[in-house]
Amino acid sequence: MTDAPAESARHLRTVSVRRDADRYVVTLDRPAARNAIDAAMIAELHTVCGLIESDPAPVLLTGKGEHFAGGADIGELRDRRRAEALAGINRNLFDRIAALPLPTVAAVSGYALGGGAELTYACDIRIATETAVFGNPEPGLGILAAAGATYRLPALVGQSVAKQVLLAGRTLDAATALRCGLVMDVVPAGEHIDAAHRAIDRITASSALALRLTKSIVDGTGRVEDIAQAVLFETADKHDRMTAFLEKRSRR
């Protein structure tokens, strides 16, 4: 039987995905357009998420060429209307990426603007080159950063800096992003992917279950009831009590 997510991944055109032994490497692949995030890329990243969700592992996310992602496709955005906004097209994808079970590391060079910046905010860790620039210029185009920046960026850099970016059009260069805590490391141009792999090497040395639970708790998505139930499900007491119940019922 063909694995549907793996099969569909073979036909990707705007992104590429490679499954190594202990990680995924996902690359935005529209370098001629500065990896602008269009509808096709959104759909293909959903396919990639399905692949990762079916076989979880840490993820390295980067962009092909000099830039991570220069934003969303403005030509498509210009034609979107109320229905598309209410559908949360980009936000739903970035929320899905943020919810991936194991840590995600964005390796960022050049521009990470608009939707490109919001995609990095959805990752757990960011590593940047000295050329990296983060920003959300959406209000200058008559819209707002509606794909997660308004709630993720304040959590990452604080409300004051987030307002400078989202309201005053400030961009954060690599050095500023490091000072603000937005990125974990700044490395020379061309070394961001290797640095991200080193970070994932450290991640994969830890317990996958411990990482998964830690991420869910830090993100506020880990329900105490689920974790407590998971502990109880593994106990002999639970097994014995349910066995006794079933045996009693079968004798009636």
Tell me whether residue 118 is one of the annotated catalytic residues.
yes
Give residue for tokens 């400078």. 164
User: Out of 138, 191, 225, 247, which one is annotated catalytic?
Assistant: 138
Tell me whether residue 191 is one of the annotated catalytic residues.
no
Encode the chain in three state secondary structure.
CCCHHHHHHCCCCCEEEEECCCCEEEEECCHHHCCCECHHHHHHHHHHHHHHHHCCCCEEEEECCCCCECCECHHHHHHCCHHHHHHCHHHHHHHHHHCCCCCEEEEECCEEECHHHHHHHCCCEEEEECCCEEECCHHHHCCCCCCCHHHHHHHHHCHHHHHHHHCCCCCEEHHHHHHHCCCCEEECCCCHHHHHHHHHHHHHCCCHHHHHHHHHHHCCCCCHHHHHHHHHHCCHHHHHHHHHHHHHHHCC
User: Out of 118, 130, 225, 234, which one is annotated catalytic?
Assistant: 118
Active site residues: 118, 138
